[in-house]
């Protein structure tokens, strides 16, 4: 293997504002024309878009391959065509259900499992709560969670349900302490679920933000987003950060926000380059974000099918050997250990190592001085080292041979 001599450094200053090295790139549009109210999810190295409304309610499943920038039609969703369904992933399977067809709405409770290896759907236990649209979902420790949503202009929900795929059973959890809402957005990070935004029964657009800990079946309020209240925004997570983009308040939006759960801090990033929208899909693949489809506003029939890729700071290449917070990492490449040397501070610096797929492999904390980290068990390849001191976070690439 050819040795790589440079240690690439990636820096992010966490605070209000954004780095000029982040960018959006337009990718291949979703086939079939514009649509809104689709459901998106990621499995392995592929992204998926399911159902929604084009000129009619549809049942197709489209698979996106970021390596070839192509969409492939897969086995269609076996239930009724619908919009605003909800999906979560557990292991290498996706679970899709609820949603509605209208405008004289029928609200569904059926749920289905999608296996991408076999390209097959299997009907699972129906959702035991009332049928609904615009629910939120997340996954923690191989359990899927679904809550919120609405089934009429006057019926909004604050319930929460857990799905166990091994037993094919649903269990109701404690109701949420926050306002019942539809069109909230969600993601999961490090064994916790996060939910924010949404629309309440009085048509108020919300900004509050909450964390769910399943071990105690309890919600904890976090810092509200500094941006405008909204509903039907798109959320995803990667590298232990959560992201929200687009949505609707008095008009459609394209602003983009990052949430750091360790600091309980919001950062505004570069706006989505494409059209302002709501009811888009979003997912993360290989630590890049993807956002697409949606419509330009409630009551509009202008649906869009463009698709965008977000590249965060740490994919921009530099060649600085030492970080701005006085940390050097060597040798690089390495075969067994990396040395983290902190020379310029007496404050704690937290060190984490991730795979390029976003899996946290090691977390340590170190004071000024030197720490040796064992990477002998790592497979050969490229890894990301995350350095955190106060409100400053930096990423470095290292190579294991």
Q: What is the pLDDT of residues 21-42, one digit of tens each?
A: 568 999 999 999 999 999 999 9
Q: Which residues pair with 352 in a beta bridge?
A: 363, 386
Tell me whether residue 133 is exposed, middle or buried, using C-beta atoms within 10 angstroms of its C-beta: 0 to 12, 13 to 18, 19 or more. Answer: buried
Identify the band that residue 122 occupies on the pLDDT scale cut at 50, 70 and 90.
Answer: very high
Residue 8 lies in a domain: no
Residue 284 lies in a domain: yes
Query: Is there a single domain that holds both residue 121 and residue 219?
Result: yes
In degrees to the nearest 10, what's the CA dihedral of 11, 14, 18, 22?
A: 40
Half-sphere exposure of 225 (CA within 13 A, CB side): 30
Identify the band that residue 361 occupies on the pLDDT scale cut at 50, 70 and 90.
Answer: confident
Residue 2 lies in a domain: no
Residue 4 lies in a domain: no
- The span from the CA of 266 to the CA of 258, in Å, is 6
Identify the band that residue 237 occupies on the pLDDT scale cut at 50, 70 and 90.
Answer: very high
Residue carrying the six token digits 């997340």 = 138
Residues spanned by the domain of 379: 322-400
Which of 81, 9, 76, 51 has the alpha carbon at shortest distance from 325? 9
Average confidence (pLDDT) over 78-107: 96
Query: Is there a single domain that holds both residue 290 and residue 388?
Result: no
Start-to-end CA distance of the chain, whole Å, equals 8
- The span from the CA of 262 to the CA of 42, in Å, is 24
Residue 14 lies in a domain: no
Identify the band that residue 317 occupies on the pLDDT scale cut at 50, 70 and 90.
Answer: very low
Q: Identify whether the C-beta of residue 120 lies closer than 8 Å to the C-beta of residue 78.
A: no
Query: Is there a single domain that holds both residue 204 and residue 79?
Result: yes
Query: Is there a single domain that holds both residue 246 and residue 348?
Result: no
Q: Identify whether the C-beta of residue 375 lies closer than 8 Å to the C-beta of residue 338.
A: yes
Q: Which residues pair with 109 in a beta bridge?
A: none
Residue 270 lies in a domain: yes
Which of 292, 216, 227 has the alpha carbon at shortest distance from 259? 227
Query: Is there a single domain that holds both residue 170 and residue 268?
Result: yes
pLDDT of 225 strictly over 90:
yes
Residue 131 neighbours by CB distance under 10 Å: 19
Query: Is there a single domain that holds both residue 211 and residue 348?
Result: no
Which 8-state DSSP code applies to residue 54? S
Q: Identify whether the C-beta of residue 287 lies closer than 8 Å to the C-beta of residue 356.
A: yes
Q: What angle do CA 11, 13, 19 make, to 5 degrees?
A: 75
Q: Identify whether the C-beta of residue 268 lies closer than 8 Å to the C-beta of residue 16.
A: yes
Identify the band that residue 346 occupies on the pLDDT scale cut at 50, 70 and 90.
Answer: low
- The span from the CA of 179 to the CA of 235, in Å, is 19
According to DSSP H, which parts of 35-120 are helical?
none
The pairing of strands 369-374 and 337-342 is antiparallel
- The span from the CA of 61 to the CA of 59, in Å, is 7
Query: Is there a single domain that holds both residue 326 and residue 306?
Result: no
pLDDT value, residue 322: 52
Query: Is there a single domain that holds both residue 221 and residue 348?
Result: no
Residue 110 neighbours by CB distance under 10 Å: 19
pLDDT value, residue 134: 97
pLDDT of 9 strictly over 50:
no
Answer with the one of 311, 345, 379 that is the final residue of a domain. Answer: 311
Least confident of 21-30, 85-94, 219-228, 353-362: 353-362
More confident residue, 127 or 359: 127
Which of 313, 335, 339, 400 has the alpha carbon at shortest distance from 17? 313
- The span from the CA of 372 to the CA of 340, in Å, is 6
Q: Identify whether the C-beta of residue 381 lies closer than 8 Å to the C-beta of residue 356.
A: yes
Domain count of the fold of the chain:
2
Query: Is there a single domain that holds both residue 265 and residue 385?
Result: no
Query: Is there a single domain that holds both residue 368 and residue 393?
Result: yes
- The span from the CA of 139 to the CA of 137, in Å, is 7
CATH of the domain at 84: 2.120.10.80
Residue 16 lies in a domain: no
- The span from the CA of 82 to the CA of 185, in Å, is 19
- From residue 46, how far is each of 288, 341, 363 by CA, in Å? 12, 38, 28
CATH of the domain at 346: 2.60.40.3080
Answer with the one of 311, 338, 354 that is the final residue of a domain. Answer: 311
Average confidence (pLDDT) over 297-319: 75
Residue 161 lies in a domain: yes
Q: What is the mean pLDDT of the chain?
A: 88
Quick: pLDDT tens for 243-286: 999 999 999 999 999 999 988 999 999 999 999 999 999 999 98
**Run of H or E including 304:** strand 303-311
Query: Is there a single domain that holds both residue 141 and residue 216?
Result: yes
Identify the band that residue 321 occupies on the pLDDT scale cut at 50, 70 and 90.
Answer: very low
Query: Is there a single domain that holds both residue 254 and residue 105?
Result: yes
């Amino acid at each position: 293997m050819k040795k790589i001599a440079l240690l690439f450094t990636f820096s992010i200053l966490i605070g209000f504002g954004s780095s000029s090295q982040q960018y959006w790139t337009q990718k291949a549009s979703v086939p079939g024309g514009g649509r809104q109210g689709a459901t998106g999810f990621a499995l392995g190295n592929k992204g998926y878009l399911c159902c929604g409304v084009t000129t009619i309610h549809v049942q197709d499943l489209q698979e996106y391959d970021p390596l070839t920038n192509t969409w492939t039609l897969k086995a269609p969703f076996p239930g009724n065509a619908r919009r605003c369904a909800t999906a979560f992933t557990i292991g290498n399977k996706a679970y899709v259900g609820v949603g509605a067809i209208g405008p004289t709405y029928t609200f569904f409770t059926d749920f289905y499992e999608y296996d991408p290896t076999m390209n097959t759907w299997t009907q699972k236990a129906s959702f035991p709560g009332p049928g609904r649209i615009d629910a939120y979902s997340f996954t923690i420790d191989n359990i899927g969670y679904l809550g919120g949503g609405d089934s009429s202009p006057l019926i909004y929900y604050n319930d929460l349900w857990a799905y166990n795929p091994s037993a094919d059973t649903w269990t109701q959890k404690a109701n949420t302490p926050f306002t019942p809402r539809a069109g909230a957005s969600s993601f999961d990070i490090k064994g916790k679920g996060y939910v924010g935004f949404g629309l309440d029964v009085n048509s108020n657009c919300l900004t509050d933000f909450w964390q769910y800990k399943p071990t105690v079946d309890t919600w904890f309020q976090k810092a509200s987003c500094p941006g405008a209240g909204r509903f039907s925004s798109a959320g995803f997570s990667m590298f232990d950060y959560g992201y929200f983009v687009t949505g609707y308040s008095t008009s459609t939006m394209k602003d983009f926000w990052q949430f750091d759960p360790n600091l309980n801090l919001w950062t505004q990033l570069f706006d989505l380059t494409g059209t302002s929208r709501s009811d888009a899909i979003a997912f993360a693949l290989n630590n890049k974000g993807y956002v697409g489809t949606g419509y330009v506003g409630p009551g509009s029939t202008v649906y869009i099918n463009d698709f965008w890729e977000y590249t965060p700071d740490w994919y921009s290449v530099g060649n600085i050997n030492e970080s701005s917070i006085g940390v050097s990492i060597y040798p690089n490449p390495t075969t067994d250990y990396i040395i983290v040397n902190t020379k310029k501070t007496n404050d704690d610096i937290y060190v984490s190592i991730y795979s390029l797929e976003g899996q946290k492999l090691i977390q340590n904390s170190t004071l000024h001085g030197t720490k040796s980290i064992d990477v002998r068990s790592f497979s050969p390849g490229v890894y990301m080292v995350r350095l955190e001191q106060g409100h400053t976070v930096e990423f470095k690439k290292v190579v294991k041979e």
